[in-house]
Amino acid sequence: MVMAIPRKLVALGDSGVLGWGDPLEGGWCERLRRHWMELPGGPVLYNLGVRGDGLERLAARLSAEVGCRGELRRQLPQGILLGIGLNDTARVGRPDGRPQLDAEGFLFGLQQLLHKAKEIAAVHVIGLTPVEESAMPYAGVLWYSLADIRRYEALLEEACLEANVPFLPLLEGLLADSDWPLWLSNDGLHLNNEGHRRVFERVRSWPALLDWADLQLRQEPTSLGY
């Protein structure tokens, strides 16, 4: 009997992908990895989040990181999941300081990144998470704001539409719940255990990712049995 080769997904991003802020469950990406491990034929997920990463640093490591995550005669992974952009929005030194990567440079770099990533594997992109502005500055020097995060998430969506890449917005859906500040760590930036759980629930039920993983028909039945 020939065993089916599981699909492989490489998740690239910043501390949100890494799972920082969630010492109990390891973050939304780790939860997704464990969830897929329990499913017959579930994909193998590699978490390659790096704290502090922005778009430019992620782009610089894309090919090397993805290229060495193959199995069985150097087979390349079949999917890439990107979670990036929050650190690029941060303004340096003061609330009206320069962002770490301005909007024009972010959009251009993202367009180039998506083009490069699509040559390697199927690509999916998730949106950005909120911050508590009253807790800023982060680390005494970086100022994050909801207005800037909203603007950069819109750029993520624009680039994904242009590149025909599935995009999962997160910001407005999280902000719609008045309890969202409770989903952040004390630093006002990183998701806590509950915040990561909220993102995990959205990612694991994302139709585009389920279609890629061939899991659309394997979801848990409803209380009515269908």
Is residue 186 classed exposed, middle or buried when 0-12, 13-18 and 19+ CB atoms within 10 A define those classes? exposed
Angle, CA 217 vertex, CA 45 and CA 33 arms, to 5°: 15
Q: What is the pLDDT of residues 141-197, one digit of tens each?
A: 999 999 999 999 999 999 999 999 999 999 999 999 999 999 999 999 999 999 999
Distance in angstroms (rounded) separating the CA atoms of residues 83 and 55 = 10
Contact by Cβ (8 Å): 43, 114? no
Q: What pLDDT score was predicted for residue 72? A: 60
pTM: 0.92
Q: What pLDDT score was predicted for residue 105? A: 98
Q: What pLDDT score was predicted for residue 3? A: 58
- Residues of the chain scoring pLDDT < 70: 1-3, 72-74, 216-226
Question: How many other CB atoms sit within 10 Å of the CB of residue 64?
Answer: 8
Q: What pLDDT score was predicted for residue 222? A: 38
Distance in angstroms (rounded) separating the CA atoms of residues 191 and 182 = 9
Q: What pLDDT score was predicted for residue 225? A: 34
Q: What pLDDT score was predicted for residue 148? A: 98
